[in-house]
Amino acid sequence: MQDIPFCSLIVFFFLIGASLVSPLYDGPLYDSTAYTECKEKPEEPLYGGGLFKTEQHSRRGSIANNSYVPSLVLYNLTQGTIYSFSAWVRVKDSSSAMIRTTLETEKETHDCIGTVSAKHRCWSFLKGGFVLNWPSNLSIIFFQNADGKDINIDVASPSLQPFTKQQWRINQQYIINTQRKRAVTIHVSDSNGRRLEGASICVEQISKDFPFGSAIAKTILGNVPYQNWFVKRFNAAVFENELKWYATEPDQGKVNYTISDQMLQFVRTNNIIARGHNIFWEDPKYTPPWVLNLTGTQLQSAVNSRIHSLMSQYKDEFVHWDVSNEMLHFDFYEERLGPNATLHFFQTAHKSDPLATLFMNDFNVVETCSDVKSTVDAYISRVRELQRNGIFMDGIGLEGHFTIPNPPLIRAILDKLATLGLPIWLTEVDISKTLDRDAQANYSEEVLREGFSHPSVNGIMLWTALHPNGCYQMCLTDNNFKNLPAGDAVDKLLQEWQTGRVEGVSDVHGSYSFYGFLGEYRISVKYGNNTTKSTFSLSRGDETRHFTITI
């Protein structure tokens, strides 16, 4: 992505204040609007339709087996441009259908640029996007039934808004500056309350509010260089495999938490928060072999024992629990214990550890929209099912195992998930090892910027636990703790997303102002021969944070 001079961004964001309107930026402003309810009438198109309000497109459709399949024809699309796409969709001859949009150009096909679960008598909102690898004189967006069956589809209020990479970055940076940072004014006075001009002020961020971390494995135990490398960077962790049922109870009745206890001690010692991953995994491939042979009351008893044992051992230790991992793709327990098995897991886990946030966690939600099991609407439907049954302490876990990320699709899916008002975490971010290390670094940065710049994302976890033979897909460092390209990309972002050391002098009003990333700060003020030190917190808020220090 094209770099923007930092000084230009600073001038831009200080001038705009709380508004996006500025003579310094005349490009499009990203519209995060999304809808998950089905409406009687479609809303007006985003961006006034974008390219669809010009003569750069036309509409057409085709008839197949008496079904009407609409399409949108576009001309002169450019390489590397980020296109945000949306439309309202309904189906005519079925109660509901998963509608997928596909983009075809002269040189490439994007098999999914957005999906929506469309209904018969109301309109549903589809939001997605794409980035072309080659310029295109003629492109066609098709609306099709995801299962391949013929169906009549209506489309209304289509919108296609182009962003240059620089425009996209400026929109991201605005959100970071308004959602991840806050204005601070330091007031310096003497013991009589008189404001002091000319006091030297030094402010340093000592911890970050935003959780950013990585998976760790038992390989970190006793490995001081690895521990030092990790603690220097991250304030959050998740155990890669060591809490999973097959790891803690490989043989029935022989529960062993020795390794996970030791890993938790490392986490505690270094003031790192940790996610609990996971209580159950719906994929039978990762279910303990002895459990596979259980049925009925025996399986229910084993399940209850697992929850009670794990949650008793680690009550109040983990900020989250992934309760039933990958439940959109697999249903081992529901097949054997009935459709309410997952609900039982959530209810029991909540009773066992009522302050932990209980997460759904699944793959191919933000990575692609081609997987019909884990489309954004499928995820939303399952969350609402849990809510209808009284499960409200839940969070949205998005694994994020990417090959080539699609930034506007990621943002569109996050927009739709944000309508639920639940905490969203990217829980297992990595880039496929089928790509070279430089590509992994570049794509990692794209994904991390999308996550950090979305106001509804509350935390990011990388899936980069280090083993002697490498990592699951992507490593940040080699075995000698020399950064690989992805590690350099992460370090660059960590440096960019912290305030660091700020120095200044109080003005005639005894004040000094700056913008700081949310977190904890240490402050030192020197006036004449006197020095005073203190600390303060910077939490999210729209108003300037005022802090007075007496010297």
Query: What is the residue whose two structure tokens read 């904890």?
Result: 520
Task: List, for residues 366-378, the tens digit of each pLDDT value.
Answer: 999 999 999 999 9
Give residue-wise pLDDT tens across range 399-447: 999 999 999 999 999 999 999 999 999 999 999 999 999 999 999 999 9
Phi, psi of 282 (to 5 degrees): -70, -15
**Which fold is adopted by the domain 210-401+423-430+448-471?**
TIM Barrel (3.20.20)
Tell me which of 19-33, 41-55, 155-169 is least confident: 19-33
Q: Is 428 a residue of the active site?
A: yes
Q: What is the pLDDT of residue 390?
A: 87
**What are the sequence ranges of the domains in the chain?**
46-163, 176-205+500-550, 210-401+423-430+448-471
Sign, CA torsion 119/123/127/132? positive
- Check pLDDT > 80 for residue 59: no
Question: CA geometry: angle at 341 spanning 318 and 462, to 5°?
Answer: 35
Catalytic residue among 242, 282, 326, 367, which? 326
| Alpha carbons 204 and 385: distance in angstroms, whole number | 46
- Show the tokens assigned to 100: 């997928």
Which tokens go with 268? Answer: 């505690």
List phi, psi (to 5°) of 243: -100, -5
The predicted structure's pLDDT at residue 69: 72
* From 240, 282, 399, 428, active-site residue: 428
Q: Is 180 helix (H, G, I), strand (E, B) or coil?
A: coil
- For 176-205+500-550, CATH gives 2.60.40.10
CATH topology for the 46-163 domain:
Jelly Rolls (2.60.120)
The backbone torsions φ and ψ at residue 307, rounded to the nearest 5 degrees and listed phi first, read: -60, -50
Q: How far is 276 from 120, CA to CA, in rounded Å?
A: 41
Give the pLDDT confidence score for residue 57 in this predicted structure: 61
pLDDT band (50, 70, 90) for residue 53: confident
pLDDT value at position 65?
Answer: 53
326 is catalytic: yes
- Distance from C-alpha of 292 to C-alpha of 116, rounded to nearest angstrom: 35
Average pLDDT over residues 452-459: 98
What whole-number distance in Å separates Cα of residue 164 and Cα of residue 133? 14
What residue ranges in 340-481 does DSSP mark as E strands?
A: 357-362, 394-398, 401-402, 424-431, 457-462
Average pLDDT estimate for 15-28: 60
- 283 vs 251: CA distance, rounded Å: 18
Q: 146 φ, ψ to 5°?
A: -65, -25
| Residue 21: predicted pLDDT | 38
Tokens 């230009």 appear where? 8
Least confident among 221-225, 273-277, 301-305, 392-396? 392-396
Tell me the average pLDDT across 256-276: 98
404: phi then psi, degrees, rounded to nearest 5: -115, 110
- Angle 440-442-445 (CA atoms, 0-180°, nearest 5)? 105
What pLDDT does 7 receive? 40
Checking if the pLDDT of 194 tops 50, the result is yes
Placement of tokens 């490498």 in the chain: 470
pLDDT of 393: 74
Cβ pair 138, 105 in contact under 8 A: yes
Flag whether pLDDT at 329 surpasses 80. yes
Q: Do domains 176-205+500-550 and 210-401+423-430+448-471 have the same CATH topology?
A: no
Q: What's this model's pTM, rounded to 2 decimal places?
A: 0.93
- Tell me the pLDDT band of 55, cut-offs 50, 70 and 90: low
